Amino acid sequence: MNKYLGNKTAILLFILPALLLYSVVVFYPMLQVFFRSLFDWDGLTPGTFIGLGNYTRLFDDSLFHTSVYNGIVFALVITVAQIAIGTVLAFAVAEAGVRGRKFVRISVFIPVVLSITVVCQLWMAMYNPEYGLINRVFELLGISYRQDWISGSKTAIYALAAVNAWQYMGYHFALLLAAVKSVPEHYMEAARIDGASKFKAHLRITIPLMAETYKFCLIFAITGGLNAFANMYIMTGGGPGTSSYTLTYMMYRSAFRVGEYGYGSASAAFLVIECLIVTLLINRFIARQRIVY
C-alpha cells in the first residue's frame, strides 16, 4: 500500500479524471451560481451587476421565508423518520432470531429503486381526499380525521415529507444495517456477560460505535431535505399557492417561470451555504474522531 501512496504520479493520474469532472460539473457551476447571484440577469442578456441587491430582496421576500421554513420542516421530518425507523429495522433485521428478516430487508429497500414519479403518483392516489387509501382507512376505523392531505396549505409539506421519508428510508436502513453488522460480536458478548440487557447494550455500545454511519446518514438526510424539489414539483406544483415551496422550488420559479436567473441564483447560493453550514456542524459535533474497532 505504501508503495502506491509513495508514487505521487500515480495518485495524480488516478485523481485527475474525477477532479476534472468535479471541476466542470460541480465546482464551476457553483462558482457561476455565486457570481450570477450578483446580477440582475434574465439568462439570455449579459445582465446588470447589482451587488448584493438580490440578497437584500431575498431576505425581504415572504416566499423566501416560507421556502426556508418548509425546507427545515421537510428535512426534520425525513431525518427523524428515516434514521429512527431505519435504526429500529436495522437492529431487528440484524437479530438472528427474528423471522421474516429477508422479506423486511428487501421490501424496505424496494422504494429506493423505484422512480420518484411512480412513488409520487402512488402516494397521490393514497392521499386523494375522496377515494384515497389513507382517508378510507380512517373511515373504516370510524375516525373522523379525514384530511385534504396535499391540498391543505398546512398539511401539504408534512404529507410530501412523509412520501420522501418512506421512499428513502431503505437507503438509510441499508447503511445502518451494514454498520450494525460491522460492530464486532465480542463487544456485545462482553456487555451481556456483564449483565447488560440487549437494549442497553445496543444503546451504550452498538449505537456509539455506529457514529460515523449516523454522521453520513444525518448529512445525507438533512441536505436532501433542504434540497427537496421533485416531490413538490410532481405532487403539488409548490401549492396550494406557495405553501409547499422549498428553496430549490423557489430557485426554479425565479429562474424558469419568472426569468430572473440572478434572483434564482441568489436563492441557490443561500441553499449551498445552508447545506454547507449543516454539514460543517455535523462534522464538528458528531464522530469527530475516527472509530476503529
Q: Is there binding between residue 212 and other proteins (CB under 8 A)?
A: no
> What does the alpha-carbon distance between residue 148 and residue 127 come to, in Å, rounded to a whole number?
8
Minimum distance from residue 54 beta carbon to other proteins (Å): 12
CB-wise, 79 or 236, nearer to other proteins?
A: 236
Stretch that binds other proteins, among 9-17, 100-108, 161-169, 171-179 (CB under 8 A): 9-17
Give me the amino acid identity at 79.
Answer: T
Restricting to residues 51-70, which ones interact with other proteins according to CB under 8 A? 57, 62
> What does the alpha-carbon distance between residue 165 and residue 223 come to, in Å, rounded to a whole number?
13
Stretch that binds other proteins, among 10-18, 171-179, 187-195, 224-232 (CB under 8 A): 10-18
Minimum distance from residue 63 beta carbon to other proteins (Å): 8
Nine cell digits for residue 70: 418548509
Buried b (16+ CB within 10 A) or exposed e, 40-74: ebeeeeeeeebeebbbeebeebebbebbbebbebb
Restricting to residues 217-276, which ones interact with other proteins according to CB under 8 A? 235-243, 253, 256-260
CB-wise, 63 or 104, nearer to other proteins?
A: 63
**Mapping DSSP to helix (H, G, I), strand (E, B) and coil, where does residue 49 land?**
strand
| Residue 23: DSSP 8-state | I
Window 84-123: contact mask with other proteins (x via CB under 8 A): ----------------------------------------
Q: Is there binding between residue 80 and other proteins (CB under 8 A)?
A: no
Q: Which of 43, 50, 55, 104 binds other proteins (CB under 8 A)?
A: 43
Cell 441568489 belongs to: 266
Type and span of the H or E element at 32: helix 28-36
Residue 263 near residue 257 (C-beta atoms within 8 A) = no
> What does the alpha-carbon distance between residue 15 and residue 143 come to, in Å, rounded to a whole number?
59
> What does the alpha-carbon distance between residue 108 and residue 102 come to, in Å, rounded to a whole number?
10
CB-wise, 150 or 218, nearer to other proteins?
A: 150
Minimum distance from residue 43 beta carbon to other proteins (Å): 6
> What does the alpha-carbon distance between residue 70 and residue 270 come to, in Å, rounded to a whole number?
15
Site residue total, other proteins (CB under 8 A): 46
CB-wise, 46 or 97, nearer to other proteins?
A: 46
Stretch that binds other proteins, among 125-133, 173-181, 196-204, 225-233 (CB under 8 A): 125-133
> What does the alpha-carbon distance between residue 166 and residue 32 come to, in Å, rounded to a whole number?
34
Minimum distance from residue 220 beta carbon to other proteins (Å): 25
Minimum distance from residue 234 beta carbon to other proteins (Å): 10
HSE toward the beta carbon, residue 246, CA cutoff 13 A: 26
Stretch that binds other proteins, among 15-23, 101-109, 172-180, 188-196 (CB under 8 A): 15-23
